[in-house]
Amino acid sequence: MSNKPLHFSTVCQANQQLQQISKRAQKLTQLNSILQEILPSQFAGHCQLANMKDNKIIIHTENAAVASLLRFHSATICKTFSSELSAQIERVEVKVKPQHPTGKLAKSNMIDMSNNNAALIAQTAAGLDDGQLKTALHKLAKRGKTRDNS
């Protein structure tokens, strides 16, 4: 018996639910491509078709400004998708879903502080009697992001 991982299509054939999910994802990807083609170039990369249900298309965009401009194109989007699909699309719902840069959330606890300043804070803390201020200054000195001072 081989320990090689199975190809995704093989797993989907054995599992009806995975097969349905895979087909749905492929359909949404295809519909997103259509959306990207019909929208003006200013929206490229700023919005994505998220879902289609109940004669409604749901589009996610990264900010409110793009969402507002995108709503002006809702009639064109409905008309195009209705002609592409067998279903009548009556409404476009635009939701703002900000894109978080990767790593930014993990580093939000860091402070932009030079090594020199972190050392000064640690030195100040060392000169204090034990207490909350000393503990807080030690923590602050440790949280300082080290950077090259050259």
Confidence of residue 150 (pLDDT cuts 50, 70, 90): very low
Residue 20 lies in a domain: yes
| 75/46 same-domain check | yes
From CA 143, how far away is CA 150, in angstroms rounded? 21
pLDDT in tens, 34-69: 888 888 888 878 899 999 988 999 999 988 999 999
| 20/78 same-domain check | yes
Indicate the average pLDDT of the chain.
82
Q: What is the pLDDT at residue 38?
A: 85
Residue 1 lies in a domain: no
Strands (E), the chain: 47-53, 56-61, 91-96, 111-112, 144-145
Residue 136 lies in a domain: yes
Q: What is the pLDDT at residue 15?
A: 80
Q: What is the pLDDT at residue 92?
A: 93
Domain count, the chain: 2
CB 58 within 8 A of CB 77: no
pLDDT in tens, 99-130: 766 555 455 555 677 888 888 888 888 988 88
CB 52 within 8 A of CB 16: no
pTM for this entry = 0.59
From CA 51, how far away is CA 54, in angstroms rounded? 10
pLDDT at 8 over 60: yes
From CA 59, how far away is CA 43, in angstroms rounded? 12
Residue 75 lies in a domain: yes
| 62/32 same-domain check | yes
From CA 118, how far away is CA 140, in angstroms rounded? 8
Count other Cβ atoms within 10 Å, centred on residue 104: 8
CATH number for 52? 3.30.300.180
| 73/130 same-domain check | no
- The boundaries of the domain holding residue 138 are 111-145
